[in-house]
Amino acid sequence: MDAEHRTAEQDGARTAPHQPPAAHPEHGPGRSQLTRIASGAESGLALTATASPARQLRDDVLSARRIVVKVGSSSLTTAAGGLDADRVDALVDAVAARRAEGCEIVLVSSGAIAAGLAPLGLARRPADLARQQAAASVGQGLLVARYTASFARYGVRVGQVLLTPDDVIRRAHYRNALRTLDQLLSMGAVPVVNENDTVATDEIRFGDNDRLAALVSHLVRADLLVLLSDVDALYDGDPSRPGTSRIAEVRGPEDLAGVEVGSAGKAGVGTGGMVTKLDAARIATSAGIPVVLAAARHARDALAGQPTGTLFHRTGPRTANRLLWLAHATEGRGTLRLDAGAVDAVVRRRLSLLPAGLTGVEGDFSAGDPVDLIDENGHIVARGLVNFDARELPVLLGRSTHELAKEYGPEYEREVVHRDDLVLLDG
């Protein structure tokens, strides 16, 4: 073993060949120059634009050639909770109008559980996961059938795409999901994306379609994310109270200071609220994707670049990296405790994690699952896809891969977490 390798072993990390993610071309023309206004810009929502607010919004929307549109359950359902055909048609009319201008649209649609309530004799969204999954199983078919009929008025096909975090944090699955969505778009179809509620579990799920929409925007390299809701914008307080004002733009954290946001939709049939929408905006804008939040009834105006709703300016560069999904799509299913040398190697030197740097293992996970990497104080410093089952790791703690390969065989001369499957987390 050479000196460089010995040093890496002592740190519990190893360098490895790394192929940088391929650059993806933009789908639309260039945008206005942006400038950083806060040293903590990496935390999200911290850029300002040199163009005027109205011009910036119009440029971002009208130049977009690929748009992800997310609509919540409350914007698609009746007061009784079933699908509202008129609302679905109005949304499709707005999407079709933008498609007619040569724009590709991916629709992230909630509503499967809501659509399945009445057929199963349920008066409201059930609290337990099993009945939610049953409602989703019945309702997803009804939801897609409604979209199919509505888009057929324009001669447009739809394709159903159901995702779970497991589908997209693993390298091969990520490529498959991207290939399917790209192929649907290239064939002129509108992908209708939803979480696969029928197989998701409490531990392994997106939890809300706002976050899913932000991640899908990144996956398909969208130019714009439009979040449609039952409220028409972000307000500086409860919009039902007199005296509150619409926030037209979010340029930095200071724009959100003192803003009160709710956690549930009006109709009681969805899982999202303004908190989840702000989280989605943070994820998307940090990946270089601007976001418009508007009322579903104003979908046509929002897609046409009219001054409606709230515009969130992008805060980071365009990226093409599936590790954004690993950071935001799911929680770790276990924890790996690292010594100080391994933390430095992983965080500062961006090396792979080796058994030599491990001091503890918690949780029940399998090889390929996401796990959190924590320091000696219990702070999460990174998340990665582990290469061993939880039961295999205790005998490996603190030992070199050379020693392990000699004792257990060459298959044990591998990283615990490869650096290509590892993402650093703040705080």
> Domain locations in the chain?
57-230+265-324, 331-424
Which pLDDT value is given to residue 373?
98
**Three-state SS annotation for 55-122:** HHHHHHHHCCCEEEEEECHHHCECCCCCECHHHHHHHHHHHHHHHCCCCEEEEEECCHHHHHHHHHCC
Look at the domain 57-230+265-324 and name its fold: Carbamate kinase (3.40.1160)
Highest mean pLDDT among 48-62, 120-134, 269-283, 349-363: 349-363
Across residues 138-158, what is the average pLDDT?
97
pLDDT digits (tens, 9 = 90+) for 9-46: 555 565 544 443 343 334 433 333 222 222 233 334 54
The CATH code of the domain at 331-424 is 2.30.130.10
354-370 average pLDDT score: 95
Q: Let me know: does 133 contact 157? Beta carbons within 8 Å.
A: no
Instruction: Please give the backbone phi and psi of residue 250, each rounded to the nearest 5 degrees, phi first.
Output: -120, 110
Residues annotated as binding site for substrate? 110, 197, 209
The annotated binding site for ATP is made up of: 70, 229-230, 271-277
Please list, in sequence order, all residues whose beta carbon lies within 8 angstroms of the beta carbon of residue 241, skipping any fewer than 6 positions away. Answer: none
Binding-site entries: 70, 110, 197, 209, 229-230, 271-277
User: Which residues partner with 235 through β-bridges?
Assistant: 246
Confidence (pTM): 0.77
pLDDT at residue 303 above 80?
A: yes
Q: Which of 49-63, 68-82, 314-328 has the lowest mean pLDDT?
A: 49-63
The b/e string for 286-312 (b: 16+ C-beta within 10 A; e otherwise) is: bbbbbbbbbbbbbbbbbbbbeebbbbb
Average pLDDT value over all residues in the chain: 83
Q: What does the pLDDT read at residue 26? A: 40
Helices and strands (DSSP H and E) totals, the chain: 13, 19
**For residues 374 and 381, is the Cβ–Cβ distance under 8 A?**
yes
Reading phi first (left if > 0) and then psi (alpha if -120 to 50, else beta), residue 382 is in beta
188-220 exposure pattern, b = at least 16 Cβ within 10 A, e = fewer: ebbbbbbbbbbebeeebbbbbbbbbbbbbbbbb
pLDDT tier at 284, thresholds 50, 70, 90: very high
* The pair of three-digit structure tokens given for residue 6, joined into one six-digit string: 């010995």
